């Protein structure tokens, strides 16, 4: 279908925006979506490969809803980075539409969003907005759920599934569910009463292969006779020699890719492996970059190194590898560094990226060639193979539209036997079906409280009926087991005084409603309440924060922290430490939670990031994630304490200290803008110990901090 064929069918604003980007022909999935009722408000499941045009389908539906029905459109993504990327794309195409993004504070209803037409958000944030009773939910005409296969993911899938169910059952909004990896797309479409748009179309041809002994054994996409039970490797398909003399597969693929003037993505199973891979392969890339690229990389390397005042070992590793044209990428990096790496890779300044598999979902970072270095992953109890859906997601990064006519995606075999097994396991297998993951007690606990607190569902019967409308109910039909779990959860929270049962009518208590709004697990709230009732010192307050579900995964227990934990519980008998998390949920790991509390205490003691990450075997990115989560849980503890009429002075001071990473003596100074942990310490150590002294010593402050910063600080006194 040509874009011009849409004239008169879609609003002119959409048509003009599409043509302005040079899109003159619709892809097969886009044409199918139009034919199946996209413009008339039909629910739709779009299952097609990466880069096949799913975002444009969402764009047409969203803008059509805004212009033709004067209803809001919501774009929901599983990751903040993905929501931000889509926001920027849509904002650029439609600058005149009131667009906004909300991915932050989970304890806010964001009422300001009522004046916006196009809203981008994360799954948890939108669920939180509903919990806070935003009065603009009824104004929604279209909701897009990106990466809908996340329904099958245990930690985040239940919130997505229950959110979709709530939208489906309580609004007339058009629902679009998008994914590149759904093995049972028809089943999900039936659940949503949606039209199915399913396609194998890919704008850039993808050649999938297995590397063995410096050869590429390409999967034969067309020969249906080689689809199962191969007996010999010659049956697989075309064989090509790597343009490399190296016997190391990753080196061979890197040299081959760079010899074609293309970029490479290598996926590793762990952060440590990704970092080691980048440093190891930097010896190859440094020989293959131009002088101009070397200059740009040197500048980028310096910027990466100096993101923190004192670089950590990870910062140094990243800086070193980038000088040679290669970088690593994982969730343990600082956000600023990760953004700089992504931009440089997009601009083809960085030639190769060694990443963990988290990059398979989220922001769009394609490369000509993808190599999966580690096909196994440690899952907590042992090593397991990556699933076909995840491998398909990783392979989907191969091939850059507008730059490549084909992309290449490889896995590595160490023997002929393994080569044949990988061919059957990953090249010949269909996508795996997505299953609901809501049928376990810890997952349902927080959502049941929110149903009742919102006055959305007020009886056990109505909750059971709602669950029957979920994908779980659609899949399993027999709900006796989950109904029993629901009953036990309700009784448990009645015992905790979060819920009241008045002749079968369930109502959240004032405390229960606030806990639901805070978006924390009721079990974490119960632990915090127990802890608040006990005598606590600074370590006790930090342990109250860290010993919660939301702070997992904890850092590893150090030898010192294990010894200190035993000393501490003996010292503080009959207090907070005797009331640990309930063992029957299998979540209580006190020594590691205590070690995490000690890490936060080191932060409050103004120890530098480099020292902390080394001591607790963590990463800068993981440290800052823990600090952000700790602020959220401490805020929740303060709000719970207020509900219980417990003084919050010490907790409020701790909240400020945690935000800045300071000792108590700097609390007064950081009240001023432009003064954080570093400047406050510089001032304090030079005799400027509080705001009153600072106001009367402008010249001295200027000597310490410089005239420009001092001028900004003193404007606050005008």
Q: What is the mean pLDDT of residues 585-593?
A: 68
Q: 3-state DSSP call for residue 155?
A: coil
Which token pair is 640? 């719970």
Q: Are residues 455 and 421 in the same domain?
A: no
Residue 582's pLDDT is 39
Residue 432 lies in a domain: no
Which token pair is 573? 């008998």
- For residue range 625-678, what is the model confidence (pLDDT) as tens digits? 999 999 999 999 999 999 999 999 999 999 999 999 999 999 999 999 999 999
**Residue 633 to residue 43: CA distance in whole angstroms:** 38
Helix (H) or strand (E) holding 709: helix 707-714
Statement: residue 587 has pLDDT above 60: no
**Residue 419 to residue 384: CA distance in whole angstroms:** 17
Q: What is the mean pLDDT of residues 437-465?
A: 93
DSSP characters over 233-263: GGGS--EEE-S---SSHHHHHHHHHHHTT--
Largest interatomic CA distance in the chain: 86
Q: Are residues 419 and 449 in the same domain?
A: no
Q: What is the mean pLDDT of residues 74-83?
A: 90
Statement: residue 210 has pLDDT above 80: yes
- For residue range 287-345, what is the model confidence (pLDDT) as tens digits? 989 999 999 999 999 999 999 888 999 999 999 999 999 999 998 899 899 999 999 99
What do you get for the CA distance between the two ends of the chain, in Å? Answer: 64
Residue 122's pLDDT is 93
Q: Are residues 284 and 392 in the same domain?
A: yes
Q: Are residues 241 and 375 in the same domain?
A: yes
Residue 577 lies in a domain: yes
Give the pLDDT band (50/70/90) at residue 229: low
**Residue 508 to residue 196: CA distance in whole angstroms:** 39
Alpha-carbon distances of 461 from 61, 509, 609, rounded to whole Å: 36, 20, 51
Q: Between vectors from CA 266 to CA 260 and to CA 267, what angle results, nearest 5°?
A: 160
For tokens 């948890």, the residue is 124
What is the tally of structural domains in the chain? 5
- Name the DSSP letter for residue 423: I
Q: What is the mean pLDDT of residues 207-236?
A: 74
Residue 412 lies in a domain: yes
Q: What is the mean pLDDT of residues 618-631?
A: 94
Q: Which of residues 575 and 108 earns the better pLDDT score?
A: 108
Q: Which of residues 574 and 258 earns the better pLDDT score?
A: 258
Q: Are residues 576 and 691 in the same domain?
A: no
Q: Roughly what angle, to the nearest 10 degrees, separates helices 271-285 and 249-259?
A: 50
Cβ-contact 329, 275 below 8 angstroms: no
Specify the CATH number for the domain of residue 459. 1.10.10.10
Q: Roughly what angle, to the nearest 10 degrees, separates helices 54-69 and 12-20?
A: 150
Phi-psi region of 370 (alpha: psi -120 to 50; beta: other; left: phi over 0): beta
Residue 578's pLDDT is 47
Residue 238's pLDDT is 84
For tokens 């806990």, the residue is 515
Residue 436 lies in a domain: no
Q: Are residues 541 and 635 in the same domain?
A: yes
Q: Across-strand partners of 383?
A: 378
**Residue 477 to residue 467: CA distance in whole angstroms:** 10
Which residues are CB-contacts of 508 (< 8 A; sequence separation ≥ 6)?
A: 449, 452, 453, 498, 499, 500, 516
Which token pair is 114? 């009522």
Q: What is the mean pLDDT of residues 442-448?
A: 90
Q: Are residues 27 and 156 in the same domain?
A: yes
Residue 435 lies in a domain: no
Q: Are residues 528 and 383 in the same domain?
A: no
Q: Are residues 167 and 244 in the same domain?
A: no
Q: Are residues 100 and 169 in the same domain?
A: yes
* Residue finishing a domain among 151, 174, 198: 198
**Residue 683 to residue 676: CA distance in whole angstroms:** 11
Statement: residue 559 has pLDDT above 70: yes
Cβ-contact 119, 87 below 8 angstroms: no
Helical H segments across 424-521, by residue range: 441-453, 460-468, 471-476, 480-495, 510-518
**Residue 604 to residue 539: CA distance in whole angstroms:** 11
Q: Between vectors from CA 175 to CA 170 and to CA 180, what angle results, nearest 5°?
A: 140
Which token pair is 691? 């705001």
* Residue finishing a domain among 427, 451, 482: 427
Specify the CATH number for the domain of residue 538. 1.10.3380.30
Residue 247 lies in a domain: yes
Q: 3-state DSSP call for residue 672?
A: coil
Residue 618's pLDDT is 93
Closest C-alpha to 148, from 106, 173, 180: 180
Residue 230's pLDDT is 60
Cβ neighbour number for residue 607 with a 10 Å cutoff: 14
Dihedral of the CA atoms 374, 375, 381, 382 (nearest 10)? -90
Residue 66's pLDDT is 96
Which token pair is 273? 């492996």
Statement: residue 379 has pLDDT above 70: no
Residue 581's pLDDT is 39
Q: Which of residues 566 and 462 earns the better pLDDT score?
A: 462
Alpha-carbon distances of 665 from 273, 373, 668, rounded to whole Å: 42, 50, 7
Residue 104's pLDDT is 78
DSSP characters over 218-233: E--SS-GGGSS---SG
Residue 574's pLDDT is 46
Q: Are residues 232 and 374 in the same domain?
A: yes
Q: How many residues does the chain have?
A: 718
Of 188-202, 365-379, 589-603, minimum mean pLDDT range? 365-379
Residue 79's pLDDT is 84
Specify the CATH number for the domain of residue 319. 3.40.50.300
DSSP characters over 323-374: HTTEEEE-TTS-HHHHHHHHHHHHTTSS-EEEEEGGGGSSS---BSEEEE--
Helical H segments across 496-558, by residue range: 510-518, 522-532, 538-546
- For residue range 414-442, what is the model confidence (pLDDT) as tens digits? 998 999 889 888 988 889 999 999 988 77
Q: Are residues 346 and 466 in the same domain?
A: no
Q: What is the mean pLDDT of residues 474-483?
A: 92
Q: Between vectors from CA 510 to CA 507 and to CA 512, what angle results, nearest 5°?
A: 70
Residue 477's pLDDT is 84
Of 60-74, 188-202, 503-517, 526-540, minimum mean pLDDT range? 526-540
Q: Between vectors from CA 76 to CA 73 and to CA 12, what angle results, nearest 5°?
A: 35
Residue 385's pLDDT is 84
Residue 536's pLDDT is 86
Residue 468 lies in domain = 441-517
**Residue 512 to residue 498: CA distance in whole angstroms:** 4
* Residue finishing a domain among 502, 517, 532: 517
**Residue 192 to residue 149: CA distance in whole angstroms:** 14
- For residue range 104-153, what is the model confidence (pLDDT) as tens digits? 777 777 888 999 999 999 999 999 999 888 889 999 999 999 999 999 98
Residue 309's pLDDT is 81
Residue 51 lies in a domain: yes
Average pLDDT across the chain, whole number:
90
Of 571-580, 626-635, 657-666, 694-703, minimum mean pLDDT range? 571-580
């Amino acid at each position: 279908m040509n874009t011009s064929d849409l004239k008169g069918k879609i609003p002119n604003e959409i048509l003009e925006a599409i043509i302005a980007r040079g899109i003159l022909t619709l892809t097969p999935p886009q044409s199918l979506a139009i034919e199946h009722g996209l413009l008339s408000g039909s629910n739709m499941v779009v299952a097609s490969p990466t880069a096949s045009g799913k975002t444009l389908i969402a764009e047409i539906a969203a803008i059509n809803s805004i212009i033709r029905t004067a209803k809001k459109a919501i774009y929901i993504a599983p990751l903040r980075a993905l929501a931000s990327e889509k926001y920027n794309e849509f904002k650029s195409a439609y600058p005149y539409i009131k667009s906004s993004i909300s991915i932050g504070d989970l304890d806010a209803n964001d009422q300001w969003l009522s004046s916006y037409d196009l809203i981008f958000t994360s799954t948890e944030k939108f669920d939180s907005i509903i919990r806070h009773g935003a009065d603009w939910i009824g104004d929604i005409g279209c909701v897009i759920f990106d990466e809908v296969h996340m329904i099958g993911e245990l930690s985040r899938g239940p919130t997505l599934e229950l959110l979709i169910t709530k939208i489906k059952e309580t609004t007339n909004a058009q629902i679009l569910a998008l994914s590149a990896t759904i093995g049972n797309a028809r089943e999900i479409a039936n659940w949503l009463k949606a039209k199915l748009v399913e396609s194998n179309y890919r704008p850039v041809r993808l050649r999938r292969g297995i590397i063995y002994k410096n050869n590429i054994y390409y999967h034969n996409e067309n020969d249906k006779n080689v689809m199962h039970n191969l007996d010999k490797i010659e049956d697989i398909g075309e064989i090509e020699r790597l343009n490399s003399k190296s016997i190391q597969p990753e080196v061979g693929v890197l040299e081959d890719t760079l010899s074609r003037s293309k970029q490479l993505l290598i996926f590793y199973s762990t952060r440590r492996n990704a970092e080691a891979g980048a440093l190891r392969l930097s010896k190859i890339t440094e020989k293959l970059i131009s002088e101009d690229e070397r200059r740009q990389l040197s500048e980028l390397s310096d910027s990466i190194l100096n993101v923190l005042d004192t670089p950590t070992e990870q910062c140094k590793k990243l800086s070193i590898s980038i000088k040679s044209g290669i970088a690593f990428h994982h969730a343990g990096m600082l956000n600023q560094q990760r953004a700089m790496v992504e931009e440089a890779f997009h601009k083809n300044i960085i030639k190769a990226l060694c990443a963990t598999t988290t990059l398979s979902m989220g922001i769009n970072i394609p490369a000509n060639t993808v190599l999966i270095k580690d096909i196994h992953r440690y899952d907590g109890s042992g090593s397991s193979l990556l699933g076909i859906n995840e491998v398909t997601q990783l392979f989907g990064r191969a091939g850059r539209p507008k730059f490549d006519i084909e992309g290449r995606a490889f896995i590595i075999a160490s023997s002929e036997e393994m080569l044949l097994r990988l061919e059957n396991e990953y090249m010949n297998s269909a996508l795996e079906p997505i299953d609901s993951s809501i049928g376990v007690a810890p997952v349902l606990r927080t959502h049941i409280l929110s149903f009742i607190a919102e006055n959305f569902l007020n009886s056990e019967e109505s909750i059971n009926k709602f669950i029957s409308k979920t994908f779980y109910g659609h899949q399993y039909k027999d709900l006796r087991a989950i109904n029993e779990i629901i009953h036990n959860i309700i009784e448990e929270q009645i015992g905790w005084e979060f819920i009241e049962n008045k002749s079968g009518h369930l109502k959240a208590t004032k405390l229960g409603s606030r806990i639901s709004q805070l978006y924390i697990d009721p079990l974490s709230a119960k632990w915090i309440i127990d802890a608040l009732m006990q005598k606590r010192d600074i370590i006790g307050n930090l342990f109250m924060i860290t010993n919660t579900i939301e702070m997992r995964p904890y850092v590893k227990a150090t030898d010192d922290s294990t010894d200190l934990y035993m000393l501490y519980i003996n010292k503080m008998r009959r207090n907070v430490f005797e009331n640990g998390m309930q063992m029957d949920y299998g979540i209580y790991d006190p020594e590691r939670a205590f070690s995490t509390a000690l890490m936060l205490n080191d932060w409050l003691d103004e120890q530098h990031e480099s020292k902390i990450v080394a001591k607790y075997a963590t990463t800068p990115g993981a440290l800052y994630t823990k600090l952000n989560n700790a602020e959220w849980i401490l805020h929740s503890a303060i709000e719970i304490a207020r509900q219980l009429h417990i003084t919050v002075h010490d907790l409020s001071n701790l909240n400020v200290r945690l935000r800045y990473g300071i000792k108590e003596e700097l609390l007064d100074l950081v009240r001023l803008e432009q003064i954080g942990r570093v400047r406050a310490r510089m001032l304090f150590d030079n005799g400027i110990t509080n705001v009153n002294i600072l106001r009367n010593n402008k010249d001295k402050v200027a000597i310490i901090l410089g005239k420009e910063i001092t001028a900004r600080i003193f404007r606050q006194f005008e």
